[in-house]
Structure 1
């Protein structure tokens, strides 16, 4: 996945998040369903941002950005704790 692919994915996830919130506001989703889906989207977004940061750090260090790899969700989410 190159930087453009990652940014495209981020854009899609943000759009999905927005649509999900709109559906909840219109009463098409329960609060529990909205939360469940938002959690998945937010996790995917966190992984995308992490991969993008890895690629940019590798590039800044003169390394190959294509060697950056997606980290598992529990590792990415563990940064906040």
Structure 2
């Protein structure tokens, strides 16, 4: 059984990762505005996919905890399955 503090620690790691991805995405967009290179545009797309996956994982963990299941059984789903989630 996972202790509450372990579950919260995992959640904090996911939230920290979301913050890092958001910051990198913002920095890329602010630094280059509409003049992104093809590589930078691809990186922004990759960041958006990773953010969708992180948000989905966080939602899964919270839902599992709410219904008395282990949040550690939540798994990262493929990007096409979670793309374009609305925050």
In 1: Cα distance, 2:75 partner to 2:46 partner: 19
Q: Deviations over 1:18-53 (max 9, x none)?
A: 11012213x5x43x3432111100000000000000
> Which stretches in structure 2 are left out of the alignment for 5+ residues?
1-8
How many residues of Structure 1 are paired with residues of Structure 2 in the alignment? Answer: 78
In 1: Cα distance, 2:80 partner to 2:67 partner: 26
Structure 1 contact 3–52 (Cα < 8 Å) conserved: yes
Q: CA RMSD in A?
A: 2.4
> Which stretches in structure 1 are left out of the alignment for 5+ residues?
none
Establish whether residue 11 from structure 1 lines up as the match of residue 15 from structure 2: no
Structure 2 contact 53–77 (Cα < 8 Å) conserved: yes
Q: Secondary structure at the match of 2:69?
A: coil
